[in-house]
Amino acid sequence: MMFLRSPLSRKARIEITGGPGKNYSLDFMGTVDFKQWTSESVAADLERAIHEHRLPPATKLGEDELGDAYGISRTTVRAALHALSHRRLVELKRNRGAFVAQPSVREAREVFEARSLLEPRTARSAAERMTDADLASLRANIEDEHAALDAREDGRALFLSGQFHVEIARIADQTTIEAFVSELISRSSLIIALYWRRRAALCETQAHHALLDAFDQRDGDAAEQLMKSHLLDLVASLDLRNVAQPATSLREALQK
């Protein structure tokens, strides 16, 4: 979560004259823009934090707490949490609050089933419409991911890895599918947080490189096939045996 204020829309008139001593003093008069958080930007900020595993599954997202953190009222926080709940990244429990979602094994399977229906054929479309600028964008993404891995910023690497998939949908010029894929990618990040088998290996950049080659050659068939097997590999790397969930509370376990 970032609490810095950066320019957006709100202006504050500031006048400072003189200073407390010889070490520093300043004369300033003018307007300073600072960021005004909106429900959308808060939701985006939280989504990224969830995606990067800075907010792990089951984390309580108290309205007051978040309001204080962002310097806004509960009203705006609530809108953001509701937005995230529509994307199934946050679970709202009536009168109990918002929590980072904990996808079940079943939901995990469903998410990858949906991805397997959407992404391979979208990759094909993307390959057919690929411009050089698009290729450069995908290449930059992979490089950023490598850089993040080298810097031990695993969360950031995971986020970028997801953006690769979203970018493909964008290139395919299908904003509706892109929105679905974007949601599925974020949910996949939660699934990875819960069910990832071999923690160390984020080494799926191999698959992304192979896809890049297919895109480079505008080979739709190859892109579709590569995406298909990439998704199968991802599922295979998860431990989706139906072991009993940690079960945060007995109450929840029973009311299902």
- The residues binding DNA (CB under 7 A) are 9-10, 36, 38-39, 60-64, 72-76, 78-79, 92, 94-98, 251
Cβ atoms of 193 and 56 within 8 Å: the answer is: yes
Give 73 or 229: the residue with its C-beta nearer to DNA.
Answer: 73
Exposure b/e, 148-174, CB count within 10 A at least 16 = b: bbeeeeebbbbbbbbbbbbbbbbbbeb
Stretch near a copy of itself under the rule CB under 8 A, chosen from 108-116, 139-147, 211-219, 229-237: 108-116
Residue 201, phi-psi category: left (phi > 0), alpha (psi -120 to 50), beta (remainder): beta
Smallest distance, a copy of itself to C-beta of residue 168, A: 14
Residues near 49 by Cβ (< 8 Å), separated by ≥ 6? 1, 55
Distance CA 232, CA 22 (A): 67
Smallest distance, a copy of itself to C-beta of residue 57, A: 17
Give 98 or 118: the residue with its C-beta nearer to a copy of itself.
Answer: 118
Smallest distance, DNA to C-beta of residue 47, A: 18
Per-residue x/- mask for a copy of itself, residues 170 to 199, rule CB under 8 A? ----xxxx--x---x---------------
| Helix H or strand E encompassing 28 | strand 26-34
Distance CA 146, CA 208 (A): 12
Give 75 or 229: the residue with its C-beta nearer to DNA.
Answer: 75
Smallest distance, DNA to C-beta of residue 127, A: 39
Residues near 124 by Cβ (< 8 Å), separated by ≥ 6? 220, 221, 223, 224
The yes or no reply on residue 118 touching a copy of itself (CB under 8 A) is: yes
CA dist 21 to 16, 33, 185, 223, Å?
14, 28, 54, 66
Cβ atoms of 227 and 123 within 8 Å: the answer is: yes
Give 102 or 122: the residue with its C-beta nearer to a copy of itself.
Answer: 122
113 binds, among DNA, a copy of itself, none (CB under 5 to 8 A by kind): a copy of itself
Stretch near a copy of itself under the rule CB under 8 A, chosen from 64-72, 75-83, 151-159, 244-252: 75-83
Smallest distance, DNA to C-beta of residue 15, A: 18
Cα end-to-end distance, the chain, whole Å: 32
Which residues sit at the interface with a copy of itself, rule CB under 8 A?
Answer: 79, 82-83, 86-87, 107, 110-111, 113-114, 117-118, 121-122, 174-177, 180, 184
